[in-house]
Amino acid sequence: MSAQNSSGIQTLLDAEREASKIVQKAREFRTKRVKEARDEAKQEINDYRAQKEQEFKKFEAEHSKGNEQAEDEANKEAEKQIQVIKEAGKKGQAGVIKNLLSAVLEAKPTPPQAA
């Protein structure tokens, strides 16, 4: 009976070792699969980020042309306004200088009036 118990115990020990090996392989597989899933997720994120970056650059390129065009038009309009102001200044320049000089050179003091 003890030989049979001994062989039963040995069988149980062998089964336990085999189960331990199976559990260890399952853990290794799970660890490997988690690592692979993490790498796949990182790759998907990088691909998505690259795609969105490309879409943004395309959008920016399309809309910046409109901004450049509006900026050019605004600059042209500003130049026209500056020219108009310069021409008006040149036309009235002599009169303004004459008025300033006469006001300085021909002072006409007036006494203060009591209130």
- What is the CB-side half-sphere exposure of residue 90 using CA atoms within 13 A? 6
Q: What is the mean pLDDT of residues 25-49?
A: 96
Separation CA 22–CA 15 (nearest Å): 10
- What is the CB-side half-sphere exposure of residue 7 using CA atoms within 13 A? 3
b/e per residue, 2-16, with b = 16+ CB within 10 A?
eeeeeeeeeeeeeee
- Which amino acid, one-letter code, is at 78? A
pLDDT at res. 1: 55
pLDDT at res. 104: 81
